[in-house]
Structure 1
Amino acid sequence: MPTIQDRIHQQAQQGFVGRSEELSILWRALDEDGALVTFVSGIGGIGKSTLLHAFVQQLQAQQIPVLQLDCRAIQPTEQGVLLALGQLCEQPCNTVGDLGQVLGPTGKPVVITFDTYELFRLLDDWLRHVFVPALPDHVRLFFFGRESPVTGWFTAPGWQGLCQNITLGALDEVTATALLQQIAVPSHQITAIARYAQGHPLALRLAAAALAERPNLSLSALTGASVIGELAQMYLQDARDLRTRQVLEAAAVVRRTTRSLLAAMMPDFPDSEAYEHLLQLPFVEIGQDGLVLHDLVRQSISSFLQATDPEKYHTYRRRAWQHLRQEWASAGENHRWRYTADMLYLIEHRMVHDAFFPPHAHVIAMEPARAKDGDEILAIARSHESVQAAGQLRDWWQQVPAVFRVARDPQNDLVGFSQVFDPTQVPVDLLLADPITRCWWQELQANPVPEGERVFFIRRALGKHTGEALSQIQAACWLDAKRLYLEHVDTLRRVYIVFRSVDEQGPIVERLGFRPLGAGIALDEEVYYSYQLDFGTQQVMGWLAGLVDAQYGDPNVNSLNMNSLDAAFQAPPPQIFEIEGHALVIAGDRTPLTPLEYGVMHYLYSHPGKAVSRITLLEEVWGYDYEGGSNVVDSIVRSLRRKLKTHASAITTVTGVGYRFDGF
């Protein structure tokens, strides 16, 4: 049965103009000696998805099988891709081998397309090393995304000549004019719009829509790279009616829009009418899991709303979260990723949000270390570690090199590495020989996770020139770790990490729920500090729910048990700090506080969200006549964090100032 989506694609095909050269290149890839993998890259709004739709229409007209994947609607894990392809093939594909068997007997070209491929950063390594090589040689893959492919696709042994990249540029003047004519722009406006939009397809459509709203609008005042944002805000401000503006604002603060979600965010607005409003807009498309605003437009409207009316912005997002968490509980297994992605999108913690919705092109690629990488890995270790610490990494490399992953820059040079592994998959004697992993292993034995749940040790991550300092390489390593979070979303219980720069990285990981693990470990003259994140009884989903609920939960709730999804959804907040009893109560266990611990805890607790200097704490807790150094405050805070256990992140270090209480 034809769907509305089919009708939209048909209309898009009828209105498609230009890109004949690019289409020819795509078609040549289907030749027997054509490129096996084709990338189509370009800036947002340049027409990648439009080109893809036109290509798919032509393939279908020639009865060439095509499997279309929209990366926005697929969990960026190996099983997520295989599940989606199995559904398209109407046969289960639990492994790449299963998929190869399904695609093998066709005897003619089969096309697999990935749209919005930039969201699959987490999977690039697996696709290049495992997925693509295992497919039958009559399969052709097309990746459409904002980013150019990493150099490994072209430079790795055996890949030369098998990949190609098409970079989409602006439309020429003739094609831009033809596009405006296709969308029925009055002839007297075409020249001005074409000159103003400079061949950018989305800008052409937005400018046309803005002029339709306000025919006397002058475009000459808007120039520069911010044209999309300016046009989006102009369209929003000059919409014919208030309701269109309200619907756009609501839709812009979430990842995708459904009828039920709109109804939850705008309870006084008929959901069918709101949905119809969105369908009429030139920058809205129907995705596999709801209506989607073009991300450039969405970001512009969302940022504008947050700056001009933060109360409305947070109200929309809070209502969205409350609705999504209810729907998540009843969603089928095949739909859980959609709600997980919705949840991730609502997280405002930049480190978490950007890991899954990257705002910039990724220039660092992560992949498994190869035998020849050993010398470079150990050279990096010697440059940034003490002799003893570098020796520990050497022992790890010599005995289990499979636990290392390397970072490569656009020139394919090794610029860093990380060491991540499941401790149950490596020799116990090696764990015990390393002072850091010995500490973690002993803690794990004393506090084991339930059977069937997993633990990962992130033993080290270093950049060639930056060491453990915050950098693009560290960001790539953190992003790579998020791959584990998603791959083991239902079983991952605990993560251990270590670093020396506690003042720089401590506040970051504490906000994510990590807690300090014991005292520092000395390796020669350097001290290494361990942190642990326990996701709780509901694993990664419980942790994510806690991060979101801390922002957009019930405004009358002041605290949250981040380690339980049930608590995030239903239970009242626990009473952690007994003011009258001078004690902390964690999971039913009551821990008394010393007078100084109580004084610091009480002052921070009484000033939530406010950065309090060490000097202020000394004056308020120790008294004005105290003559000691401010490091005594740090000692008390460390003691408090140990007693707070899983709630240690409630006290955040504010670099250069002191500390802040962020709530339990």
Structure 2
Amino acid sequence: MPSRLANRLASARRTRFVGRSGEIELFQSALTAAESLFQILYLYGPGGIGKTSLLREFGARAEERGIPAYYLDGRNLQPTPDSFQNALRAALGVASDAALETVLSNMTARYVLLLDTYEVWSGLDNWLREEFLPQLSENALVAMAGREPLSPGWQADAGWQMLVRQIPLRNLSPEEGRNFLERRAIPVEQHRTVLDFTHGYPLALSLVADLFDQRHDLSFQPETAPDVIKILLERFVQKVPGPAHRAAFEACAMVRVLNESVLAAMLKLPDPTAEKSEETIGAQSTHELFEWLRGLSFIEAGREGLFPHDLARETLIADVRWRNPDWYKELHQRARKYYVTRLPQASLPEQHRILYDFIFLHRDNPVMRAMFDFTDAVILPVAMHETDKPALFELIEQYEGIESAKWAKKWFARQPDKVIVYRNERNELLGVFALVEMQNAAEAELLADPATRAAWNYLKKHAPLRAGEIAAHYRFWMARETYQDVSAVQTQIFLTTVRYQLLTPGLAFHFFPCANPDFWAPALLYGDLTRLPDADYTVGGKTFGVYGHDWRVRPPLAWLELLAQREVAANPEAVAPPPETPLIVLSQTEFSSAVHDALRDFARPMRLRDNALNCSRMVVERVGPAASSDERMSALQNLLGEVIAAPQVSPREAKLYRAVEYTYLKPAMTQEQAAEELDMPFSTYRRHLKAGLLRVVDALWQKEIGAGRRGRYNENLKMSKK
């Protein structure tokens, strides 16, 4: 009976075993070779990766060929030579007092020794390497498995270097994962969700499959399976020294890559680049936490910083989101703030990395996960050179036809600095993004191209540009291999558009055309773009659906706040734009009149509260879209005061602003009294007041159209293009 039960158990295990064909082929080649290239095959990887299952499969493959296999598990033994030898005698079926060296030397036929959970035998490592294993005959093939690579002693020994083959075990491939789920009878419609969470990690696949065995009507979501998360966490992190360490690996899971600066920002620790103060000496340092993270088995180090294994990341995020949703939101907010603060000062390549990190924060959203490729591919955005044009025109003609290529030639010649080319490390062309800034083109040019004609007519009818404002049409965007499908290149193109939108002074509107607008609808609507059928166009028989965004109605700061809410919401699609009072897009004449009214009513709150500037872009950007009417009014007063009190370049300029200040910000005075206080003739005062008002209106207008807010990035953008 025990034998029959053991056979059934082994058969059940093998029925559910999938994948690992490369490792099995390597083992079998060593098993059957007349002279094997190695004597020891060592497998390593984190707990739950399938090391034990693979060792058992090795044993089964050996016994199918009539070769005996003996299995020892370190979890069942004391880490001493005596315990190890006693267990091996029992596995070999010899007497407990038999001389093991003699027994092994008499084993002239081929056999396999399987040593599992090698990490618990760390105290035996020297003894096994230097005493036990060398006494085995050449007929023995040893397969061992542990969580960590072999100790340096193995690498330092020239003899063992030739006889040992080390193999890191990875997750199952998507195809192998689907094979496993099919064997466990998991509904096909659930495969994508399960594979997205588990990333092919064998233990996670088994745990989720067990859930389906218990509940056949299950619709799997990680947050609804806390027991699975708990088991996985225990596999990854067996002991956490303290709350700061737990917060550190939670922070590491949130971001794409973690360095000490990001860690300090997310945990509000002292800046690691600053000198230590009396307050920070003795506190848990950023460096200490970072080094602790680096030592964890499920944390990997890359060229940009630390990052967890995929499943470890998913598990940690699911756990903190379920266990402490407020802390989850707080970590996201701190990471987002760090990236937004760093963006303006960064170089062009670094800006793309920062935006990539920023978009990565949205990866938990199923819409964004499906529409972005977060693979760590090296894709470099560079300015177009004249020698690039033939290949670019050929690429555009390939996907969009001869007529589109004709328009590309015209726009590339007209606005060459608005073309970005994407290349890999070998300088191979990967894709292109080209926009048209319509305010810089002649109206005849805009009306000739079907794409810009539709957009220009839309603007004139629905959202007229004001003086100094920019409207951009993302005229051409595509990857060489995948056109406008989801890819790593498409992801970089989208990052380019975000960078442009956040850093371009005076941007009022942008149009985003898509060859397949329905496919991109979830992602673009998530990003607060609106479908604009009136801006659709057809070129060469190919029709493009167009989306757009009015940056005067929802400026960058309000847009970032909306994305932040969707980023951490349980149901991001349900987070609608805020219902607060919408922005008012004033013409330059209307804006000037509103400034005059605001100055006249500066000290009359009841009247100032109704001023149109309270719903202007410059006010909403300062206080946020959810601000009350009193908060907006206070912000408007502060803006007026700041512009009037700003340092001037000359004494004459200062006199002009002082005339405005004494007239409107000191309303107890009459104009005659203001002139007397300023010590100037009344006619001179009136002339200064008129000129000062023009300057105040112009300064505020620059803020309104975005030049005042984003103009400080101009020099950085110029440097990025060099």
Normalising to structure 2: TM-score of the pair? 0.39
Larger radius of gyration: 2
Normalising to structure 1: TM-score of the pair? 0.42
Larger helix proportion of the pair = 2
